[in-house]
Copies of this chain bind each other. A is one copy, B any other.
């Protein structure tokens, strides 16, 4: 999660929403990491999780990351929660909760729905304070 947080800080420095994600394989090796790039890429789907998953799949030349874990600094949204499911991620660790846009423990709680066909094990709250402060400060600065 420390590396995901570094990615979140790097995203902030680029003017992106400060969220970072890391994909780790069965052996604990980092396969891919990313921060948000929606602005840089002009791509509304370029959330950190999406980029990390897409990059990991490219590295492993597979569309299923069976046995892999994903660390992300913010509770995944509906889009990312579903992508994590499609990628067959084994375990999801997230830091800050997202009451406004989250889809794991908030909102649609996607992994509990009948239209979800693979649900990762979920651990929320890792390094929550740091991830949450980073986001709160970023949006407070934006509103100035």
Complex CA gap A117/B78 in Å reads 12
Q: Tell me how many chains of this kind the complex includes.
A: 2
Q: Looking at the assembled complex, report how far the CB atom of A58 sits from the nearest CB atom of chain B, in whole angstroms.
A: 6
Judge if A14 is at the interface, Cβ distance under 8 Å.
Answer: no
Known: A77-B82, A78-B116. 18 other contacts (CB 8 A): A38-B63, A41-B63, A42-B61, A43-B54, A43-B57, A44-B63, A45-B45, A45-B54, A45-B83, A45-B87, A77-B115, A78-B79, A79-B82, A79-B86, A82-B103, A100-B117, A101-B117, A107-B115
What 1/0 flags go to A80-121 for Cβ under 8 Å of B?
Answer: 111100110000000000001111001110100111110000
Query: Is the interface on chain A under 10, 10 to 19, 20 to 34, or 35 or more residues?
Result: 35 or more
Judge if A50 is at the interface, Cβ distance under 8 Å.
Answer: yes
Asked if A101 and B115 sit within 8 Å, CB to CB, the answer is yes
Asked if A87 and B53 sit within 8 Å, CB to CB, the answer is no
User: Which of B87, B102, B117 makes the CB contact (< 8 A) with A44?
Assistant: B87
Asked if A115 and B100 sit within 8 Å, CB to CB, the answer is yes
Complex CA gap A79/B78 in Å reads 6
